[in-house]
A and B are shown apart, each in its own frame.
Chain A
Amino acid sequence: MPANEAPWSWPELAAVILSRELADHEVGSPGGSRSEIPLAAARLAQLTHAPNLAIITSAAGFVANMVGKPWSPLFHSTMDWRNVYAGTEAVLPSSGVFHTRRDWFFAGALQVDGYGNINLSRIRLKDGSEMRGPGAAGLAYSSTMARRFFIYMHEHSRRSFVETLDYRTAIGFGDGPGSRQKLGLRGGGPALVISPRGVMDFDERTLRLRLRSVHQGQSVEELVDNTGCTLIVPRTVPWTMPPSDQELAVLRRQVDRGGVLRH
């Protein structure tokens, strides 16, 4: 993992960057392998630029909005009972969780490839054995149906950014342009990949992973060296826009007073 000398932690930076991607009036679900990061991103968006954004707790249907409400701590377990009182105004029945539109959702992954397809199922180890991941959860569904999705990777290495997945659990842009249309998939596919090294999006024409910015303290060369899949690198790559004073103040005073994202 690259060293981090910035005055904010990697989860804090991830929450701030992801919050900027969420627009007012959207409906989405935070999920993935450290769901407090996307949950913080969504609450931060509500409290800065998207006051009408609705958060649906992934697979439990708590519909929440933090605007004008007392702060509430972030919890590791997404369905923690205390989340029912964290800005929740209504609870969907379990079937309603899958009948409600999603403008976005978040995915973690064991592996991601250059078209944003992801693996959460199994990794082939060097000795030929297989390591099981947690499984698809609902990501095969939401990658098919949600308008867009964001992938956050806690590790940026040649083991996690790969040319060929060991298993395709959820579909991004499939085999490239035309794949999603041919299969009749509803949503638009992956919009963004964020890692501790940088931010990536997808080229509009080729749908290939493209470097958008590198975080301060990281370098383009190191990032590319640690990427095992095809990556479009523009001639100039800007720094990731750091958290503003206002974003950091709202994040630390209203969203994450307990500092869950700093530990």
Chain B
Amino acid sequence: MMERTSKQAQVQDALAWLRDGAIVAIGGSLFHNKPMSLVREIARRGVRDLVVVAVTQASIDVDLLVAAGCVAEVRVPYLGLEHHGLALNFRRHAATGRIRVWDCDETQVIAGMEAAAKNLPSGWTKTGVGTDLPHSNPDLKAVADPFTGEPMIAVPAIQPDIALLHATRGDRWGNLAYAGYPFSDVLIAEATHRCGGKVIASVDELVPASEFAADPFYADIAHILVDAVVEAPWGAHPCSSHGNYQYDDAHLARYQQHARAGEDAMAQWLAEHVTTSPTHDAYLDRFLTPTLLAALRREIYARQ
């Protein structure tokens, strides 16, 4: 009998698919479920000219890739660091014309991803009618509903070459489970898989496949949509793995201090956290102490 193929992969092999200029979709939202170990590896490899799509909101994930010079175009409905302020590297690079900005609303990115998932050329929204969004973004086309004639906006299918997700647990066949909210990760996997792209997930824990087989309702994303599973304990840090550990607010504050101080300070931050920490294991040993890890877990169990 033939053996089934394992999708467990080392990060270097999983990201071998990533080419300069690729369309990359990143999952999670804001400070949650961001595949940060994969993001740091991309920055380390010096990939260039990426078109980065966030479904739907981004923070340090996209800002870091912009700072590292990996990005040509940003397709992100909200890019900011919430209570820490605006995304300053993004702002600097946009102001100096080093990146293009594809202005959009969450529902427009979702319409484009849904179109890709259904193998359709475009998705339609009411969102953006009467705003400047279709003026500054030529991909958002003003159209008329064929039945009523009412104004609508059409969004072309967004077809990622690669999707980067972070889940709590996965198995070697590619099944993924989320302890907390999966945000829009299911849609990202559906869209990317349907258009022939590769879906790569980092997981805090790679568990025996029997854990998934014991309860078919356990998996949030089915293995058929996933191409590679990379084991990365605490792989979302400094973001949260929703329901598994909290975001590291002090670390995010330090990142923002460097971003605020300017490009030299930011280069120094990148050198420290990305370049001179050559692997995720090296990063863990350097920046995550047992005390910190305990604190990030404690808040998950703290209930009133």
A232 contacts which chain B residues (CB < 8 A)? none
Q: Are B186 and A94 interface neighbours, CB within 8 A?
A: yes
A72 contacts which chain B residues (CB < 8 A)? 304
Q: Which of A78, A82, A129, A140 is the one whose CB lies under 8 Å from B127?
A: A140
B127 contacts which chain A residues (CB < 8 A)? 140-141, 144-145
B121 to chain A, nearest CB (A): 21
CA distance in complex: A185, B126 (Å): 8
Q: Are A94 and B126 interface neighbours, CB within 8 A?
A: no
* Given contact pairs A77-B247, A132-B91, A140 touches B80 in the complex (Cβ within 8 A): no
Q: Are B131 and A132 interface neighbours, CB within 8 A?
A: no
Q: Are B106 and A141 interface neighbours, CB within 8 A?
A: yes
User: Closest chain A residue to B58 by CB distance?
Assistant: A135
CA distance in complex: A77, B129 (Å): 29
A256 to chain B, nearest CB (A): 14
CA distance in complex: A32, B235 (Å): 29
* Contact pattern, B 87-99, Cβ under 8 Å of A = 1, otherwise 0: 1001100110000
* Contact pattern, A 135-168, Cβ under 8 Å of B = 1, otherwise 0: 1111111001100000000000000000000011
Q: Are A134 and B131 interface neighbours, CB within 8 A?
A: no
Q: Closest 9 A-B residue pairs measured CB to CB?
A: A76-B83, A140-B105, A137-B78, A134-B80, A184-B150, A138-B106, A136-B105, A141-B107, A70-B304
Chain B interface residue bracket vs A: 35 or more
B299 proximal to A (CB < 8 A): yes
CA distance in complex: A34, B302 (Å): 24
A84 proximal to B (CB < 8 A): yes
B103 proximal to A (CB < 8 A): yes
Q: Are B129 and A138 interface neighbours, CB within 8 A?
A: no
CA distance in complex: A219, B105 (Å): 37
Q: Which of A59, A71, A84, A131 is the one whose CB lies under 8 Å from B106?
A: A59
B151 contacts which chain A residues (CB < 8 A)? 183-184
* Given contact pairs A94-B183, A130-B94, A76 touches B303 in the complex (Cβ within 8 A): no
B112 proximal to A (CB < 8 A): no
B130 proximal to A (CB < 8 A): yes
B56 proximal to A (CB < 8 A): yes
A98 proximal to B (CB < 8 A): yes
CA distance in complex: A130, B101 (Å): 12
10 contacts between A and B (CB under 8 A): A79-B32, A81-B242, A136-B103, A138-B106, A140-B131, A141-B107, A141-B127, A145-B127, A184-B126, A185-B126
Q: Are B181 and A91 interface neighbours, CB within 8 A?
A: yes
Q: Are B105 and A139 interface neighbours, CB within 8 A?
A: yes
Q: Are A82 and B128 interface neighbours, CB within 8 A?
A: no
A30 proximal to B (CB < 8 A): no
B183 contacts which chain A residues (CB < 8 A)? 60, 94
Chain A interface residue bracket vs B: 35 or more
Interface residues in A80-126 (C-beta closer than 8 Å to B): 80-82, 84-85, 91, 94-95, 98, 121
CA distance in complex: A70, B86 (Å): 34
B31 proximal to A (CB < 8 A): yes
B133 contacts which chain A residues (CB < 8 A)? 136, 140, 169
A4 contacts which chain B residues (CB < 8 A)? none
B79 contacts which chain A residues (CB < 8 A)? 134-135
Q: Are A134 and B86 interface neighbours, CB within 8 A?
A: yes
Q: Which of A81, A130, A133, A138 is the one whose CB lies under 8 Å from B105?
A: A138
A171 proximal to B (CB < 8 A): yes
Q: Are B130 and A185 interface neighbours, CB within 8 A?
A: yes
* Contact pattern, A 163-200, Cβ under 8 Å of B = 1, otherwise 0: 00001111100100001100111100000000000000
B176 to chain A, nearest CB (A): 15
Q: Are A140 and B128 interface neighbours, CB within 8 A?
A: yes
CA distance in complex: A70, B302 (Å): 13
Q: Which of B128, B181, B247 is the one whose CB lies under 8 Å from A60?
A: B181
A42 to chain B, nearest CB (A): 18
Q: Apart from A82-B302, A94-B187, A138-B56, list 10 A-B contacts with CB within 8 A.
A: A77-B83, A77-B247, A80-B240, A81-B180, A81-B242, A121-B132, A129-B95, A145-B127, A180-B130, A184-B129
CA distance in complex: A138, B126 (Å): 12
* Given contact pairs A171-B130, A183-B129, A137 touches B77 in the complex (Cβ within 8 A): yes
A90 to chain B, nearest CB (A): 12
Q: Are B106 and A167 interface neighbours, CB within 8 A?
A: no
Q: Are A134 and B106 interface neighbours, CB within 8 A?
A: no
CA distance in complex: A135, B128 (Å): 13
B125 proximal to A (CB < 8 A): yes
A60 contacts which chain B residues (CB < 8 A)? 29, 181, 183
CA distance in complex: A131, B93 (Å): 11
